Structure 1
Amino acid sequence: MALARLLTVAGGSSGAAGVALSAAAAHAGGSNTATAASFLLMHAGAFLAVGLMRSRQPLRIAATVVVVGLALFCGDLLMRDFAGIRLFPMAAPLGGSLMILGWLAVAVAGAVSASQSRDG
């Protein structure tokens, strides 16, 4: 249940942060801020959906990997725009790689779940 709560909080927080950062990018500029806002907004609904659905632990673990990747990726972009420094070396590529791996794990979890329900 803790992952469900984490993902629901991540969905709401991502949505709110995405809207706020979209406004910041529109008024203060910053292409990295606009990119981070887009990524946050595009993932918010997915986190909410996975967090609110009935227990699917592999799916929740996969989505949590996406959350961690998103935090690293967006955190690095925002640090560049607002502080002029990187979060840490290779933070954005690591975050992007985690997002890709997490989404692939979501796909595998969905495929396994679908085949189990067909076979069961």
Structure 2
Amino acid sequence: MNGGQDKRGPHATARGVPATPASELIGRLRRVLRPEDLDCACRETLDGALDRFDRLERRRQARGWLTSARDHKERIAALLSFLSELDSLTEAESDRSVFEEMALLFVEIASSAEAGAASLRAL
């Protein structure tokens, strides 16, 4: 027997998907809850329940990353509406601080875009 470990190894996951904190916890639970003398039907039921929980946890985490990316998209859209004031400015603008404010909007857009991209990559 394999000492109660999942045949894929202690931190491996189904279909080559990266381990999440929840899937690592499930791997540890699997090792503790699967003694060698567990009857086959009970072991299959336990494995099925742990696999379902792992899939649900991965979906929950993926929804969170997608929600985060959408939030960043909305933030960028709002910042772009403020940035549209740039069209009405000229180089002769007397209040030079407005250019710094516009520059900060670009920085915020870049920051939000980077965070949104990171959320999508995490998927």
- Normalising by structure 1, what TM-score? 0.37
Choose between structure 1 and 2: higher helix proportion. Answer: 1
Larger Rg: 2
